[in-house]
Structure 1
Amino acid sequence: MCVSAQASTHESDMRPHALRGEVLYTAGRWREAIEAYSPLLQASAAAATPPPLTTFLHLASAYQQLGKPQYALDVYLQACVQQPCASVWLGVGKARMELGETAAAEAALSKAVALDPESPVGWGHLATVALKLGRVQEAGAALSTALRFGLRDVGTLQHLARGFSAAGSVADVRVCLEAVVAIPGSAVTTRIALAELLMNEHDVAAARLHLEAAARAAATDEEVAAVHALVPRLIDLQMQLRTC
């Protein structure tokens, strides 16, 4: 059998595994997706014909969903050999972040944004890394870039808000929370946190707007109670401003 015929046969044999893996991955059945995708990498290595990039990305992502960043990193590094593109380096950076390898994560994420300078997720992760390294001003600049390119990942923004809060950068916390509440379906608790922050900054008008929005969206007794707990303080601040 000629080489081209062998390659064609290999691709035909692998397609059912690839399709099954994709279906399982889309359904969020991570363990089963891994079982479907893993033979593809093994068979492709033996046949010297790499699988599609999505196979690497989905397999690595499934490992991350299961809390196995080292396995994910191994897959991403295999993908780097085949196609060292922005999405692969982004995956490497995220896996290294999860492993606590901050310097290596920064190097990988820097490669990702060099290849895709408008990656909001890449810049968002770089902001996270900069915070971990104590470079707060640099983290704020990376956050601004991420938002300019459309970062809308609630988890990343909330994580950054906590990091900036720990670093004492209130202005950046506000930027993060305002970005979160601008995303449809954002949690009521985020609006409440933003309203409280704004009251601390004596921005009463903005605090009132967000507290009123939180009151309208509150759906549980806990959320309603949290809103009501801030109302007396808001009223006091309004009265103080009127007497000034």
Structure 2
Amino acid sequence: MNIFLSYPLDPKDLAWPGEPTIKVRQATQIGVDGLPFNSFMSELPNHCGTHYDAPKHFNPNGLSINELPMEYFVFKNVLLLDIPKKACEGVTVEDLKDHEDEIKKVDLLLIRTGFDKVRKSSPETYQMEGPFLTPETCLYMVNTFKNLKTVGFDFLAIGSPCNDLAAPAHQNLLGFNTEKFITAIEDMHLEVLGDKKINSVTAAPLRIVGLDSSQVSVIADIKD
């Protein structure tokens, strides 16, 4: 059975404060001006909705989304960790230490805080007061988990507008300070997984030449 772990792109969604979201307009309509087809125009900023942060997002020498090898998009060994967090609470090194042996075996770590429920009930809280990965946590993951390719989570971004830690956290995770890097899938829908076993996950990027990062359609193959 396959399910989406990414949200549909919606002009009503919120992005990082000050950043734009997708804009859509209809360009042609069936029956208007004698045309037999519909078409639409989309203006799509690459850091809104469920999207994939490649190293070049915060690392000028890092790989862009189209330069990453395929193993950064197809994951056979996936771990889902439930780490409940409230508004403005960080995911800490201590939150992960008890799971070190498990994390060392996987190439994709999914952190489920439960905050995706807030995305629908209180969008502004989700935007402005989300959980985050601390800079120390990002550096710990890069230095500790050699097989880990990517981390995904059910909050807006690696950082949060609650504090000024977003830049160092991104830099630590995306290889600005180390040779190794771990990519990130931000703003995921993980509640839908429930307690189901994950067989594999595919994160299919929108491959636009020149972009640092892009939206992804994330599909999980789960056990019925």
Could you tell me the TM-score, scaled by structure 1's length? Answer: 0.23
Structure whose CA Rg is larger: 1
| Structure with the higher fraction of residues in strand conformation | 2
Q: Which has the higher contact order (CA 8 A, sep 6+)?
A: 2
| Structure with the higher fraction of residues in helix conformation | 1
Could you tell me the TM-score, scaled by structure 2's length? Answer: 0.24
